Structure 1
Amino acid sequence: MVVQPTTTPRLSRTDRWKRRVKTFGLRVLSSSGATRLIATRYGGRGIILMFHNFTQDPRRDLDQGCRIGDFERILAYLRKSGRDIVTLDEAQRRLKDPAGRRFAVLTFDDGYRSNIDLALPALERFEAPATIYVPTSMITRDINAWWLGLTVLFRDRERVDIEPMGARYSCPDLDSKIAGLRRALAWVWGDFRRAGMLGPTFARHGIDLPDLVERAAIDEAGMIAADRHPLIEIGAHTVSHRALSLLDDADVRTEMADNKLFLEERLQREVPHFAYPYGAPSISGAREPRIARETGFRSAVTTTPGCLFPEHVDSPFTLPRQNAEYTEDGAAYTACGMAGLFRALASRGGSPLAGLAGAAT
């Protein structure tokens, strides 16, 4: 593979301008009556919010994760808006009840230590439950946590060579590190088979993925202790956190069933809720929702933006879920998502029923 000349990645002036305009627009919309108007069609009965890692300083982590202050503002906004923060089981019950109060569900993907160290104290203050979706290999420390590897690669080095990309970067400052990481993440998201190509790059730079996972993720004892907390429920997230659409039927079934069994043996209870890794790249059609149902789950969440409607009772294996991580202003971003703004944009004014067969995308 031809390696390109060394470049210094930068966010273009246009990109910076677009981000500032986006943030300003989100703040205006979230504080005005516009979101209430959008919510009349797209707001639904409830919403599932998605988080991953939490941090005190997203820029230190190269614009990754949810600022814990934003998370606390989101919880305060939910309470102020009159929404109940409920479990996934309660959400499914409320969708069946025409008189059920509006609600929000909190979900955390991957099982980071920050879910307990930073987010749990906030959950306790607001008496808010949450589900943490945990892959088996995050606990066993053999996950290909390529996203952690790329973050450390750019964070800790001024010169970054990624041979599979044919890229050679000079990243002397924080902005260039952030821009370089975004390019590398987008490269993997363009084809998830590329995630398996990064091992030699990490090895050459001295990056030990199991060590990164050990520092970033809860261990087995921590997972069990978290599940025993009255506000925390552990959910399933496959064995290896691969994009399921790339796998054959047998491997998809193994990814779901073995993860479910692993968690149930350790937690000594049923694990009824599941999250698709990466969302859309794990769903090739009807196959994955069918296997999730046959495996014994009662719900499966995607990353398709949208709110929950009574119609989702009959389609619990492709539930929409709103990303709540936006480092410029996570609270404003989430308020707009709760109104259904991002579903309205994604569907171009089409159906609000994300994840349902026959609904406009």
Structure 2
Amino acid sequence: MIIGVPKEIKNNENRVALTPAGVSELRKHGHTVYVQATAGEGSGFPDEEYVAAGATMLPTIEEVYGIAEMIMKVKEPIAVEYDLIRENQLLFTYFHFASSEELTRAMIAKGAVCLAYETVEKSDRSLPLLVPMSEVAGRMAVQEGAKYLEKPLKGRGILLGGVPGVKPARVLVLGGGIVGTQAAKMAAGLGAHVILMDISLARLRYLSDIMPENVDTIMSNEYNIREEIKHADLIIGAVLIPGAKAPHLITRDMLKLMRPGTVLVDVAVDQGGCIETCSPTTHENPTFIIDDVVHYCVANMPGAVPYTSTLALTNATLPYALQLANKGWQQACRDNAELKAGLNVVEGKVVYKGVADAFSLPLVPVAELLEQEETV
């Protein structure tokens, strides 16, 4: 198979979809890899390392899209890339379709095969291609939140861990999944008093067992959230419904319950956000203020630490990319239910329920589509 790796062009996105080591593995299996020049520089991988691993470098993004059968990316295509995508071309990347009707309709119109990292799902309901970036984002949420609590950045002027004789900051984490767990660990490690909320009592029991003493677990519901936000200095939204839009756990009217300088970090913003007043921002302009509350809503947080993020992402995606390249997407998805769950939009049809529901689009059963492909 011919694999193309374009340079990411989303604002301040420095990650790349494939490391030189990944190129080497694909080449060992007989595949051809084209990488856009300087695509890996932001992550610390110069062109020379890709060439040494067996890649062919192309100067423009148009050439990469034009030659590749499978495009490997990190973030969803943006508007200037839509016209570069060909019918039946396989795109393997993060899409988060449910948060963007424009992107969804563009991919339907192009007739591409869109296999989304974030909905590849194991039998135990875990999301193996979302986990590494969720781990990075959860840890970064505390790092960024601690920074924006500083007074010059319009925060409350509180040191997250406090000092002897002074109480530490109070951190509220909404969601006890991968993001929330990592955020709670980081905040607790820095000495903050952490409140971790989730709707699953079984999950709360588990978290209560593994978390340090400065982490309290509380059942998530509207009443408890309204009570806790009154006292929180940093609030981290870490809610995920795979492939679907995140629910608003904090609404606009709740901001008046918060103290001036409270910081909100919505890690779910690329799935529509779990804080109603959040809208996507960039690393260039990461925050805005509503009702004296600081909102940090960067949609590609791991892009700020691209070396770590690229290595973590490639470790997770490469085994799946090899299956797609070795077998073709149809056979790979027939053989592997995890990959089949990643199919969101296929040749103009929506095949993932969360995406169809988000925009009231017709849903085509993916199994039916794969059976049809087999007879072609």
Structure of higher CA gyration radius: 2
